[in-house]
Amino acid sequence: MMDIKSSIKKLKELPYLDRPYSSRGWGHKLHSLCSYQSKLKPGIAYHLAKLFGEKEDLIFEPFAGVGTIPFELAQRGIKTVSLDINPIAYTVSLAKLKKQDKKKILKQAIVDVKEIKKIIEEVGKGKIAKIYWCESGKCYDKIMKLKEGLDLFGSDLKKAKLGKCIACNKKTTNKAYVASSY
Q: Which stretch binds Zn ion (CB under 5 A): 2-10, 71-79, 117-125, 162-170?
A: 162-170
d(CA 81, CA 91): 15
Q: What is the DSSP letter of 153?
A: E
Q: Does 139 bind Zn ion (CB under 5 A)?
A: yes
Q: Does 66 bind Zn ion (CB under 5 A)?
A: no
Nearest to 67 by CA among 46, 97, 47: 97
Q: Does 144 bind Zn ion (CB under 5 A)?
A: no
* 9-48: contacts with Zn ion (CB under 5 A): none
Taking the complex as a whole, how short is the minimal distance between the CB of residue 131 and Zn ion, in angstroms?
Answer: 10
Is beta strand 150-153 parallel, antiparallel or unpaired with respect to 175-180?
antiparallel
Query: Given phi > 0 = left and psi -120 to 50 = alpha, else beta, which region is 51?
Result: alpha
Q: Does 119 bind Zn ion (CB under 5 A)?
A: no
Q: Does 167 bind Zn ion (CB under 5 A)?
A: yes
Q: Which of 134, 143, 150, 179 binds Zn ion (CB under 5 A)?
A: 134
d(CA 135, CA 176): 9
Q: Which stretch binds Zn ion (CB under 5 A): 35-43, 65-73, 136-144, 148-156?
A: 136-144
List the helix and strand counts (H, then E) for the chain. Answer: 7, 8
Size of interface with Zn ion, in residues (CB under 5 A):
6
Q: Which of 48, 165, 178, 179 binds Zn ion (CB under 5 A)?
A: 165
Q: Does 143 bind Zn ion (CB under 5 A)?
A: no
Comparison of 123 and 176: residue with beta carbon closer to Zn ion? 176
Determine the length of the chain.
Answer: 182
Q: Does 116 bind Zn ion (CB under 5 A)?
A: no
Nearest to 173 by CA among 182, 161, 158, 165: 161
- Site residues (CB under 5 A) for Zn ion? 134, 139, 165, 167-168, 170
